[in-house]
Amino acid sequence: MVTKTYEGINQRIREGEAVVVTAEEFVEIARERGAKRAAKEVDVVTTGTFGAMCSSGAFLNFGHADPPIKLGGGEIYLNDVPAYTGLAAVDTYIGVTSLSTTKGMEYGGGHVIEDLVRGKEITLRGSGYGTDCYPRKEIETTITIHDLNQAVLCSPRNAYQRYNAATNSRDETLFTYMGTLLPNFGNVTFSGAGVLSPLGRDPNYETIGVGARIFLGGAQGYIGWEGTQHNPTKGFGTVLVIGDLKEMDPRYLRGCTIHRYGTSLYIGLGIPIPLLNERIAEAAAVGEEQIKVNLLDYGAPRRDRPVVREVTYAELRSGKVEVHGREVPTSPLSSFKLSREVAQKLKEWIQRGEFFLSAPVELLSRDSAFKPMKQIAEVPLVREIMTKPVITGLPDEPIARAAKIFAEHNFDHLPITDKQEKLLGIVTSWDVAIATGTKKKKLSEIMTKKVVVANEDEPVDAVARRLQQHGISGLPVTNTKGEVVGIVTTEDISKLVGRRRK
């Protein structure tokens, strides 16, 4: 039986005797010699991840101006990016997803943090309401990280243990926090460092907890608490991390823009896993072909997205996965190269005796679950507000029939289907109006063939957004078989809003 202690391992680090390997190396060692023997030979396994982590930010303290100003309760902008002002006079928190008021998604809180770490000058603009003790109402100055009293990276949720992969069943490109998702299952994106994932290497959290020293943004930081949305029962643990921004390296903190989604911050984070016993070693020896996640369809705008299939990180990493019998290219969103570099760097720190392990004062919880938001009103589904049954037309019918229907029923959209009710196109009253005086006779000649549709099980909010994005006033509603079962219009949605206000 192998049993080691933190003190024992630290003593070996001090003496330059500790055996430290990266998680990638450890998996190979364990494959060759078995996890038990590997547990005997290896003291510490280093992990690393490098991904966009949206629940991140930094506490900053500016010191007092003369005359003093109370920015708390007022407004603070750093390079035009709004920072939190619900703290005392000159403390703030800059979150990475906060967007510039002038540059929008091109520059945000993540970029401010990177620029601070690079030592660049940042424009601070602030205002307060003025009090007897803080008479000043406005301030504009420039600061660098060196001018700040404290600059502390403190992220409430970093380093997801693993993350579900993403794809898109819709016939339009989606821009999500999982990157650009091409239509009709055109690509797959995934996040996380697989075999190098810090929490994934110690999935029972036997060494990960409050007070554990870690690699954070190129400096030594700590785990401060379990992360928000920590979901150990499903294998999606997270950590709250904290560290001195002034010590960090811009190579491991990079502001970023996720196209048409928002800004974030790429963070390099690594946790050392001491192999205290064989059980820990066995969990740390699991290969990428055994780390499974679900591939989710982001085409469904719901909280519980449909699972397309289960995939392993080994498949995702290979560059192609099979989706419905077709090979689909994959994109990692986390940098495996930099994840590797983090694990390697942490390994070298320990080998050189510059980094010692700290025993957590409390381990992460293993039995909590992540609950959904409590909502006092359910969002209605399309099927509840759509008009049905719907009158449809056939492609060979004359345009005059559509005109007659529009006049008699006082509506403006006529879905065109085949005899099996499968949708072929749509004709609006406008199409009919502009066809008068032309030689066109049949509905097929004037119908729009690329029809934007709604599914009967979608929430109304998603459909309202689609109507707005396409600048249209109505959508045919289809069921899973592609048959037209109703129609939903802007009018149906405005009626609903009226109902909500009552």
On whether the CB atoms of residues 248 and 153 are closer than 8 A, the answer is yes
Three-state secondary-structure class, residue 436: coil
Give the residues across from 475 on adjacent strands.
488
**Beta-sheet pairing, 474-478 with 326-332:** unpaired
In the region spanning residues 288 to 327, those forming contacts with another protein, defined by CB under 8 A, are 319
Question: Residue 98, interface with another protein (CB under 8 A)?
Answer: no
Question: Residue 329, interface with another protein (CB under 8 A)?
Answer: yes
d(CA 495, CA 492): 5
Residue 27 or 385: the one with the smaller Cβ distance to another protein is: 27
Q: Binding residue for another protein (CB under 8 A) from 162, 170, 340, 466? A: 340
Q: Binding residue for another protein (CB under 8 A) from 331, 358, 365, 429? A: 331
Region of 73-81, 85-93, 187-195, 405-413 interacting with another protein (CB under 8 A): 187-195
Residue 7 or 106: the one with the smaller Cβ distance to another protein is: 106
Question: Residue 258, interface with another protein (CB under 8 A)?
Answer: yes
Write down the least CB distance from residue 96 to another protein, Å: 12
Question: Residue 254, interface with another protein (CB under 8 A)?
Answer: yes
Question: Residue 257, interface with another protein (CB under 8 A)?
Answer: yes
Tokens 């960090």 identify what position? 248
Write down the least CB distance from residue 448 to another protein, Å: 20
Three-state secondary-structure class, residue 446: helix
The b/e string for 87-105 (b: 16+ C-beta within 10 A; e otherwise) is: bebbbbbbbbbbbbeeeee
Question: Residue 180, interface with another protein (CB under 8 A)?
Answer: yes
On whether the CB atoms of residues 217 and 268 are closer than 8 A, the answer is yes
Side chain identity at 165, as an amino acid letter? Answer: A
In the region spanning residues 47 to 76, those forming contacts with another protein, defined by CB under 8 A, are 50-52
Q: Binding residue for another protein (CB under 8 A) from 108, 126, 156, 179? A: 179
Write down the least CB distance from residue 315 to another protein, Å: 13
Give the residues across from 227 on adjacent strands.
none
Active site residue 54: no
Residue 96 or 446: the one with the smaller Cβ distance to another protein is: 96
Write down the least CB distance from residue 101 to another protein, Å: 20
Question: Residue 337, interface with another protein (CB under 8 A)?
Answer: yes
The DSSP secondary-structure symbol of 438 reads S
DSSP code string of 175-233 = EETTEEE-TTTT-EEE-S-GGG-HHHHSTT-SS-EET-EEEETTEEEEEEEEPTT-BGG
Write down the least CB distance from residue 337 to another protein, Å: 4
d(CA 51, CA 55): 12
* Residue from 54, 133, 154, 256 carrying the catalytic annotation: 133
* # residues contacting another protein (CB under 8 A): 32
Question: Residue 338, interface with another protein (CB under 8 A)?
Answer: yes
Element (H, E) at 6: helix 6-14
Burial class of 34 by CB neighbour count within 10 A (0 to 12, 13 to 18, 19+)? middle
Question: Residue 419, interface with another protein (CB under 8 A)?
Answer: no
Region of 39-47, 79-87, 179-187, 304-312 interacting with another protein (CB under 8 A): 179-187
Name the residues annotated as catalytic: 133
Where does this chain bind another protein (CB under 8 A)? 50-52, 179-180, 182, 186-189, 254-260, 264, 266, 319, 328-338, 340
